Chain A
């Protein structure tokens, strides 16, 4: 009953004209960002965040959520039509989507992606509605040791889901933690690593850092390695968008499987939408009766990863809202937004800000419907956007990043710092140091430090507090296993013997 009341309250907020407008704007922007290679959802949210100081937080967060799940829809268009993923989460869609397009079924590929994403998105919101409040209630039992355990586990899971080089993932996390300690210590008031510079007393502002790491760094990397593809110049009619009966039969279970895999991956801290689409594709190929068709235009190879990335983009809000732990770079940037508006996501958010939480959740039903319609009727418009020269797009990113950095404290020091972080992000990407762990550590650094200090203060300096409370010990064990996962994988490989390539 409570659920229905809350949902009714949510819709009464999200269905106001202004919030529908923000939802529409978010979906449209997300769709554009998804279409344009070289700019991702975290960049878009990071660049727009400083411009929303004066907007109502609920409206702003509805818009940012629209960007997040809109990107998952938009990236599909380039994956199918030019074999270039607009977003990392649509990499798997290229494999079969582009092959379908070459066979003259581009319309069906785009259609199944849109319908699959919509079904997955709607189911995921329905599950989120029940799951997130339950998770928040459970998290009310958390004390400092549990919160430290949660942060420790999140950092560890990055090693599992992270890049090919686990050591670089861990170093990236540690650098993020170190940067997060810069500034005045909240307990003693002592300056740390400020080197006498008063501008650093408050630490580096998160918005300044992400504008550089995501905005500028992405520009430098895109200039160096432009993603170019050949647009399929086939005229698409409305009837080409309809699926045949055989295509629908083949894709319906794939959509459901993708939804479940996506939802579960999304709620794991550090899981993310890209991992969800990879896992869904691999699972679909494994259960298929015709695995040999994958990579040659199998419609299930489009339906499942598309459903998964959308479900994950919705379920990623569960740990953010209920625990205050972001599961992906975009939700990490959104967490910074919450803090900017003076809101602390976590177990109490459902009680202190029910209008924001339920307004946001209900807006996802509306957003998914808007995106379904956009993806059926506005595809030619988004294809046209692909023709915008990258030089112009690049100018806009630099301008938005600079204005964003400046508006934080109205000083030029932040603008220069943003440039510094841009160069840092560029070099890190070139040397294969993943950016996501750095960003998550920047966001969770304070939580991790405050929790460990509070826990050790309570226990009188004894680390046993982390191993005597059941939830905390569970998180710590999962975290340790996650950190050790590369060693475990290496050991298993040794037991099984070397892989023999069969050509």
Chain B
């Protein structure tokens, strides 16, 4: 966890430095008062300063506090992959079928439910999305190749 914390601190530091660099290219003070670069520059300076203090504190501490990756982190990654796959397929399948498929796959691979239950849920959710969002709430959701 200490290493993860340290990496986090370094990323914050890089963010701070980047904020200083990009905001210094904006106008700091205009004839009407503070310009668009005024606040981001100060925010960047503060982020950098606090990130340095944070990194120093992490390096000074020696206690071990839990692991960053936990036994169930793998489940989270599995879900992330299913979500990314669904988002790639959404423009082609449409929201109803896309998320119906997502629900079915999630229930099968993460909940270990029976295929029949997963299939039934997938169909139910596809119909539910179509009618609740599309008809009842009148939200224009994109349709896929099947016209749904």
Contacts and interface: CB of A to CB of B under 8 A. Distances in A.
B36 A187 contact: yes
Contact of B76 (A168, A190, A192, A220): A220
Contact of B35 (A188, A403, A433): A188
B54 A167 contact: yes
B91 A190 contact: no
Interface size class of B (residues with CB under 8 A): 35 or more
Contacts of B76: 220, 223-224, 426
A220 B80 contact: yes
Contacts of B106: 391, 394-395, 398
Interface of B: 4-5, 8, 12, 15, 19, 22-23, 26-27, 29-30, 32-40, 43-44, 46-47, 50-51, 53-54, 57, 68, 70, 72-73, 75-76, 79-80, 83-84, 87, 90-91, 95, 99, 102-103, 106-107, 110-111, 113, 121, 125, 129, 133, 137-141
B100 to A, nearest CB: 10
Contacts of A91: none
A219 interface: yes
Given A167-B57, A192-B40, A453-B33, A406 B141 contact: yes
A449 B39 contact: yes
Contact of B129 (A177, A185, A399): A399
Report, nearest first, the 5 A-B pairs whose CB atoms are least far apart.
A457-B33, A391-B111, A185-B36, A395-B103, A431-B8
Interface stretch (A59-67, A232-240, A293-301, A408-416): A408-416
Contacts of A187: 32, 35-36
A293 to B, nearest CB: 33
Contacts of B53: 167
Contacts of B32: 187, 457
A452 interface: yes
Given A167-B57, A398-B102, A174 B50 contact: yes
B99 A402 contact: yes
Interface in A364-408: 389, 391-392, 394-395, 398-399, 402-403, 406-407
A174 B87 CA distance: 31
Interface string A425-452: 0110011010000000000000011001
A292 interface: no
B15 A175 contact: yes
B89 to A, nearest CB: 11
A167 B54 CA distance: 7
A392 B121 contact: yes
Contacts of A181: 39-40, 43
B87 A395 contact: no
Nearest to A220: B76
B72 A188 contact: no
B68 A430 contact: yes
Nearest to A186: B36
Interface SS of chain B: helix, strand, loop or mixed? Answer: helix
A434 B113 CA distance: 35
23 contacts: A51-B139, A167-B50, A167-B53, A167-B54, A170-B46, A174-B43, A192-B36, A193-B22, A216-B83, A219-B79, A220-B79, A220-B80, A224-B72, A394-B110, A398-B102, A399-B103, A406-B95, A419-B83, A423-B80, A431-B4, A431-B5, A448-B39, A452-B39
Interface string A160-196: 0000000110110011011001000101101011000
B102 A395 contact: yes
A394 B79 contact: yes
Contacts of B125: 395, 399
Contacts of A54: 137-138
Contacts of A168: 54
Given A193-B22, A220-B79, A461 B29 contact: yes
Contact of A403 (B23, B51, B54, B95): B95
A389 B27 contact: no
B22 A171 contact: no
A472 to B, nearest CB: 17
A430 B5 CA distance: 9
Given A188-B27, A416-B87, 12 more contacts: A51-B139, A171-B54, A178-B19, A181-B40, A187-B36, A220-B80, A392-B111, A398-B83, A403-B133, A403-B141, A415-B90, A457-B34
B39 A391 contact: no
A391 B113 CA distance: 10
A412 B87 contact: yes
Contacts of B27: 188, 190
Nearest to A426: B76
Interface in A49-72: 51, 54
A399 B107 contact: no
A419 B137 contact: no
Contacts of A448: 39
Contacts of A354: none
Contact of A419 (B15, B51, B87): B87
B80 to A, nearest CB: 7
Contacts of A170: 46, 50
Contacts of B111: 389, 391-392
B28 to A, nearest CB: 11
Contacts of A484: none
Given A224-B70, A399-B102, A452 B34 contact: yes
By CB atoms of chain A within 10 A, which of B43, B102, B139 has the most?
A: B43
Given A51-B139, A181-B39, A219-B79, A171 B12 contact: yes
A183 to B, nearest CB: 10
A226 interface: yes
A456 interface: yes
B30 A188 contact: yes
A412 B79 contact: no
A225 B72 CA distance: 7
